[in-house]
């Protein structure tokens, strides 16, 4: 009973996902009782989910990052361009991670050292990185279809016993990050930083360093996802990442993480990402028009956050 | 009450400490020594520099000038932070909350000094066990269903103060700094806090108590220091001054400031 | 026919310009000293408007024109604001995208013409302004989305061999008023041919990050396994059809796929057989011809050109020639 109460949020969101899947299976059994659609989900949802994991950490610490879509574009461009020039995906990968890490650290420095609120700082850097990538790419997409034959491609987004490798990467990261948040001293510092910044400092938590690390981690994860997306699509394009912004935030808040910081669940975020990722396909397969997708997204977000606010009292206290 | 052991070096000593914020001096030339078993009462009006002084003692702020000695040994102030202060036995109960409201008790007890293995992973079972022990010994469960997993936000003001005190006791503090610990507490809870301070000094620990309530200070302190506009303006031993005279002196100093 | 004629005229005039050089006369570029402001319509680095821009930049370089580029994020209000900025700079000519429409542009174009600033439009026609100012150099280089949609649908019907009663799928952007006409025209053409047509609106997320379209196609195709024809009104999604179909377990040439705009990835998809037919508006021509025409109008008073660039269809047989150009941002 105590277990049920303690994990009521996680159980609730899991029930919502189960209900959605049951509903979709009922409406279009030929799609949702077969395996192929789930393989498709496993190939695309990890992108949303990995980004959402990183952002959940920042939200728990009381910060936001609006710049990750642009960092993705920048890191993805570096990856594609370096691959095209050197034929070495590894070199491109390292460069992409470096760019992501530096971009994230820059966000952190703006927030922590300069003192700009994170939503403002990262809106600024979002424009900056999008602009820089567009400038460097002269607005042209990069076709890297030739990467499909490489070992690197197989390792990152290949199929392992039919399962897309990116899903396995996601799983590994999710477990690692869940341990970091819930069982590592760093995670504790993150929780206290978001709960009460001053109290955390008085307890000797170096909140500046914690936040610098978190922004850097978000940058690294953005770059990692950017490389996965480039590999999966065999292509880099100038608007890469832009479509993820709202979906990633939606996944986090459907998952039950509090926007006021100090509390959050990576499990909820993962389930939130899955819910966000399956809705469109579910609606289309059931034969409804695509115009329904947004409506249902909106409905699920509003209903779930309302439930959190009223029943779980996640509001501002 | 056993007398202060002035034959040993002071647990903590400040020599000529000064601190200013953006050019505005908050403290200047502060000399202060606290001996084992001693309770020092620090009084002063708002803005006298009390909380700045406390933050220097606890390692939150670094002094601009002067030196800080622990057990008679000078401490490198650039390396003196909250964790160092705690590890040298200096515990501070700040006036503002130092608790993470949404976090469970066991995290609040150990935050900033978590028990970890060499990978930095928390030893959760052990932290929870110690937390339960602290709850039993210092907070008094009083039939309430409080466990190590209870989030702080469900606790009353007295219970929170109990958690903070219990934390200081458990970690074997040698000097406990209490900043306005009796504000917003019920009469019974105030008594518990003052009794706790008396216990500390009997155990040979030292204490610095800051309060607006001179009555509370007079009950437990063996020495009174008066801080005014960043300077230490007077010091009295308890036997040399009555509560009424101390009151009068305070009014005179702060009244004269206006 | 008209297109061919005008193109021929243009070609000849350029050739003559070239002959001038050959005959040893002083080689002053025709547009030397001319200032033209050019609204590319989209964002900096947008895939489509960058090709338009590449054409305009090349023409400016060829003709010695001093070109200033503007960007409007495909927002009609930005296009109007940019036009006002351009007016204030008093250039010799301004090239606009026609999206805001005749009513929005009329007072501004009147003001420009009164100040002897030439104006012409690309991409989307401004028919009333063109009628009014054609003699003073106002033309349209572009195509009618409706014609483009109809042409692609008709070609696809003919080449794929689908029959009445077969199922087809159209993925488009009806919510964009002007652009939506293309999807509507495709739907109309397919329905008139007696096909069962499913329409799906492209979500804003899939619009920007095409990777997220994978489950949509998988879900649709596994629920509608009898689908024989897919038409996609979106360049980036067309380029990702190979991924989508692979994920859905559909092999090359199993479903007939048509789309718009060439990009390097689309070229690859055509080569591998996942995309069968692509219609392109030849955006490079929009930039190149509009700038060229303004120079000709300024120099010799030629009237505005009305050129339809929408005729380009690319398939497996022609992709070999076109693919390298796509890589360079020309096709």
Is B96 near chain A, with CB under 8 Å? yes
pLDDT tens digits, one per residue of A72-90: 999 999 999 999 999 999 9
Q: How confident is the model at residue A284 (pLDDT cuts 50, 70, 90)?
A: confident
Q: What average pLDDT does the segment A29-43 reach? A: 90
What's the predicted TM-score (pTM) here? 0.82
C41 contacts in chain A (CB < 8 Å): none
A96, two tokens: 């992409």
Closest in A6, A183, A204 to B121, CB measured: A183
SS3 C306: strand
Task: Name the architecture of domain A7-312.
Answer: Orthogonal Bundle (1.10)
C322 close contact with A: CB closer than 8 A:
no
Chain-chain contact of B101 with A262 (C-beta, under 8 angstroms): yes
Rg of chain C over all Cα atoms, to the nearest angstrom = 21
- Would the CA dihedral through C264, C267, C268, C274 be positive or negative? positive
CB nearest to C46's CB, from A28, A232, A238: A238
Q: What's the pLDDT tens digit per position in C3-47? A: 555 555 555 555 545 445 445 555 788 989 999 999 998 877 777
- Given this model, what pLDDT does residue C291 score? 96
Question: Cβ contact (<8 Å) for C45 and A280?
Answer: no
Residues 6+ apart with CB under 8 A from A221: A50, A51, A53, A54, A68, A100, A173
A196 reaches B (C-beta below 8 A): yes
Q: What is the CA radius of gyration of chain B?
A: 19
Residues A178, A264: contact at Cβ < 8 Å? no
Instruction: Give the dihedral sign, CA C309/C311/C315/C321.
Output: negative
Which chain A residues have a beta carbon less than 8 Å from that of C200? Answer: 284, 289-290
CB spacing of A188 vs B58 below 8 angstroms: no
Model confidence at B167: pLDDT above 90: no
Angstroms from B178 CA to nearest CA on chain A:
14
User: Is the pLDDT at B2 greater than 50, yes or no?
Assistant: no
Contacts of C294 (CB under 8 A, 6+ apart): C34, C36, C92, C93, C95, C118, C120, C137
Indicate the domain borders of chain C: 2-143+281-312, 145-280
Domain boundaries, chain A: 7-312
Distance of CA A134 to the CA centre of its chain: 23
For residues C243 and C214, the answer to whether their CB atoms sit within 8 Å is yes
Q: What share of chain C has pLDDT > 70, as a percent? A: 92
CB contacts < 8 A (A, C): 156
- CB contact A162 to B (< 8 Å): no
A176-190, A208-222, C301-315: which has the minimum mean pLDDT? Answer: C301-315
B103 vs A191: CB contact, 8 Å cut-off? yes
Q: Are C311 and C3 a contacting pair, CB within 8 Å?
A: yes
Homologous superfamily of C145-280: Response regulator (3.40.50.2300)
Average pLDDT, stretch A101-122?
A: 96
Least CB–CB distance from A30: residue in C47, C209, C222? C222
Residues of A in contact with C240 (CB under 8 A): 233, 235
- DSSP structure class, residue B11: S
Instruction: Work out the angle at residue A55's Cα, subtended by the Cα atoms of residues A53 and A59, and round it to the nearest 5 degrees.
Output: 120
Per-residue pLDDT tens for C48-62?
A: 888 999 999 999 999
In CATH terms, the fold of domain C2-143+281-312 is: Rossmann fold (3.40.50)
| Contacts of residue B43, Cβ cutoff 8 Å, sequence gap at least 6 | B210, B211, B212, B214, B217, B224, B225, B226, B227, B250
pLDDT in tens, A210-268: 999 999 999 999 999 999 999 998 889 888 999 899 999 999 999 989 888 898 999 99
pLDDT at res. A244: 93
Q: What is the pLDDT of residue A311?
A: 72
- The predicted complex's ipTM stands at 0.84
What confidence tens digit (pLDDT) does each residue in A115-166 have?
999 999 999 999 999 999 988 887 777 888 889 889 999 999 999 888 999 9
Distances (CA, A) of A271 to A10, A274, A310, C209: 9, 5, 21, 21
Q: Give the closest of B83, B120, B122 to A204, CB-based.
A: B83
Instruction: Say what the pLDDT of residue C13 is.
Output: 56
DSSP B239: G
Chain B residues inside the 8 Å CB shell of A6: 149
The 10 Å Cβ neighbour count of residue C182 is: 29
User: Is residue C159 predicted with pLDDT exceeding 60?
Assistant: yes
Model confidence band, residue A312 (pLDDT cutoffs 50, 70, 90) = low
């Amino acid at each position: 009973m105590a277990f049920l109460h303690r994990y009521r949020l996680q159980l609730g969101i899991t029930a919502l996902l189960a209900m959605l899947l049951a509903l979709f299976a009922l409406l279009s059994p030929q799609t949702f009782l077969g395996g192929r659609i789930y393989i498709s989900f496993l190939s695309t949802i990890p992108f949303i989910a990995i980004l959402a994991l990183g952002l959940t950490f920042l939200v728990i610490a009381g910060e936001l990052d609006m710049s990750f879509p642009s960092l993705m574009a920048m890191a993805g461009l570096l990856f594609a361009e370096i691959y095209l020039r050197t034929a070495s995906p590894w070199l491109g990968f390292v460069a992409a991670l470096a760019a992501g890490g530096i971009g994230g650290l820059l966000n952190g420095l703006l927030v922590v050292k300069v003192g700009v609120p994170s939503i403002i700082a990262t809106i600024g850097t979002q424009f900056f990185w999008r602009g820089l990538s567009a400038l460097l790419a002269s607005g042209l997409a990069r076709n890297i279809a030739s990467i499909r034959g490489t070992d690197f491609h197989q390792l990152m987004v290949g199929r392992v016993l039919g399962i897309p490798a990116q899903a396995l990467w996601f799983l590994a990261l999710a477990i690692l990050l869940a341990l970091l948040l819930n069982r590592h001293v760093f995670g504790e510092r993150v929780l206290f930083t978001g709960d009460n910044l001053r109290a955390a400092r008085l307890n000797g938590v170096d909140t500046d360093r914690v936040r610098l690390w978190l922004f850097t981690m978000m940058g690294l994860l953005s770059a990692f996802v950017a490389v996965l997306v480039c590999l999966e699509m065999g292509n880099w394009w100038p608007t890469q990442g832009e479509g993820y912004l709202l979906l990633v935030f939606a996944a986090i808040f459907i998952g039950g993480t509090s926007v006021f910081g100090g509390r959050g669940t990576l499990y909820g975020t993962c389930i939130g990402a899955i819910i966000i990722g399956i809705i469109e396909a579910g609606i289309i397969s059931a034969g409804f028009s695509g115009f329904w997708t947004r409506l249902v997204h909106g409905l699920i977000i509003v209903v779930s956050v309302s439930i959190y606010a009223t029943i779980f009292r996640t509001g501002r206290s | 009450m056993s007398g202060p052991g002035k034959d040993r070096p002071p647990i903590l000593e400040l020599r000529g400490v000064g601190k200013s914020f953006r050019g505005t001096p908050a403290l200047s030339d502060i000399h202060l020594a606290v001996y084992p078993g001693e309770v020092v009462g620090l009084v002063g009006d708002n803005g006298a520099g009390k909380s700045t002084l406390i933050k220097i003692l606890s390692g939150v702020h670094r002094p601009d000038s002067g030196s800080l000695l622990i057990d008679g040994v000078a401490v490198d102030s650039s390396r003196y932070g909250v964790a160092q202060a705690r590890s040298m036995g200096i515990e501070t109960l700040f006036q503002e909350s130092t608790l993470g409201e949404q976090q469970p008790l066991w995290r609040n007890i150990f935050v900033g000094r978590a028990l970890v293995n060499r990978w930095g992973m928390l030893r959760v079972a052990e932290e929870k066990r110690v937390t339960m022990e602290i709850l039993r010994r210092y907070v008094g469960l009083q039939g309430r269903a409080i466990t190590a997993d209870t989030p702080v936000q469900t606790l009353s003001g007295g219970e929170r103060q109990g958690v903070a005190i219990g934390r200081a006791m458990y970690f074997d503090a040698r000097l406990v700094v209490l900043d306005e610990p009796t504000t917003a507490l019920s009469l019974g809870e105030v008594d518990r806090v003052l009794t706790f301070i008396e216990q500390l000094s009997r155990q040979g620990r030292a204490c610095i108590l800051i309060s607006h309530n001179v009555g509370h200070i007079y009950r437990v302190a063996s020495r009174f220091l008066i801080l005014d506009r960043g300077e230490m303006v007077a010091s009295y031993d308890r036997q040399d001054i009555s509560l009424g005279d101390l009151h009068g002196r305070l009014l005179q100093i702060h009244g004269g400031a206006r | 026919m008209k297109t061919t004629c005008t193109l021929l005229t243009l070609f000849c005039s350029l050739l003559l310009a070239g002959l001038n050089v050959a005959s040893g006369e002083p080689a002053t570029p025709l547009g030397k000293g001319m200032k033209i402001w050019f609204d590319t319509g989209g964002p900096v680095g947008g895939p489509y408007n960058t090709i338009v821009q590449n054409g305009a930049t090349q023409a400016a370089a060829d003709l010695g024109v001093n070109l200033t580029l503007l960007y409007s994020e495909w927002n009609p209000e930005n296009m109007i604001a940019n036009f006002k900025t351009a007016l204030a700079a008093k250039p010799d000519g301004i090239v606009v995208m026609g999206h805001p429409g005749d009513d929005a542009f009329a007072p501004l174009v009147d003001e420009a013409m009164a100040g002897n600033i030439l104006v012409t439009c690309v991409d989307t026609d401004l028919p009333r302004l063109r009628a009014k100012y054609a003699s003073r150099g106002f033309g349209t280089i572009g195509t009618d989305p409706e014609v483009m949609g109809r042409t692609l649908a008709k070609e696809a019907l003919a080449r794929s061999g689908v029959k009445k009663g077969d199922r087809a799928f159209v993925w488009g952007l009806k919510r964009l008023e002007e652009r939506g006409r293309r999807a509507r025209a495709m739907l109309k053409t397919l329905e008139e041919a007696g096909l069962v047509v499913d329409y799906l609106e492209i979500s804003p997320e899939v619009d920007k990050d095409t990777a997220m379209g994978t489950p949509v196609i998988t879900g649709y195709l596994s629920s509608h396994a009898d689908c024989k024809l897919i038409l996609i009104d979106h360049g980036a999604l067309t380029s990702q059809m190979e991924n989508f179909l692979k994920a859905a377990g559909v092999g090359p040439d199993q479903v007939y796929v048509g789309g718009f705009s060439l990009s390097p990835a689309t070229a690859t998809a055509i080569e591998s057989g996942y995309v069968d037919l692509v219609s392109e508006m030849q955006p490079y021509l929009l930039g190149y011809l509009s700038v060229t025409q303004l120079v000709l109008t300024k120099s010799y008073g030629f009237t505005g050109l009305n050129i339809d660039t929408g005729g380009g269809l690319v398939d497996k047989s022609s992709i070999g020639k076109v693919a390298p150009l796509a890589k360079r941002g020309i096709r």
